[in-house]
Copies of this chain bind each other. A is one copy, B any other.
Amino acid sequence: MRTIDLLKSKGVSPSQQRIQILEYLLKNKIHPSVDTIFQNLVNQIPTLSKTTVYNTLALLREKQLIQVIIDNNEIRYDADTEFHGHFKCLECGAIYDFPISEIKIDISSIENFQISEKHIYYTGICALCIKKKGDENGNKT
């Protein structure tokens, strides 16, 4: 589906800014921050304001066209709205996706609760960074 129709299907009028921001997220699956999105789009839309990026992302989130990753210092964005987990590498800062096939929770403690968002967020060191560190140590002596 075209980005315009995606927006329309959720009742969002497709302004240039909204189209470009959503399109950026659909094409760049790097879980960018507000600042990354802004820096990458301000070339194409020279008048773009960071407030617009904030406003638009809040709207897209509300309409469930995107989901957010609550990171330590900032929020990162993901156009993949399927339920999945995120892994943040504390070394290089990259955020990886990983699938979740099943999660069993004892529902009794939050029975009758109305759930709106589910976040699965792991932190640690990714394989690339572990290897990099190992190599560095190996080169010593």
Contact = CB atoms under 8 A, between A and B. Distances in A.
A96 B122 contact: no
Contacts of A120: 103, 119-120
A126 B100 CA distance: 25
Contacts of A114: 124-125, 130
A98 B115 CA distance: 13
Given A72-B70, A116-B123, A124-B116, A100 B103 contact: yes
Interface in A93-135: 96-107, 109-127, 130
Nearest to A120: B120
A81 to B, nearest CB: 15
Interface string A36-52: 00000000000000000
Contacts of A105: 85, 98-101
A135 to B, nearest CB: 14
B100 A104 contact: yes
Nearest to A91: B114
Most central of A85, A107, A113, A130 by chain B CB within 10 Å: A113
A115 B117 CA distance: 23
Interface of A: 70-72, 75, 85, 87, 89-90, 96-107, 109-127, 130
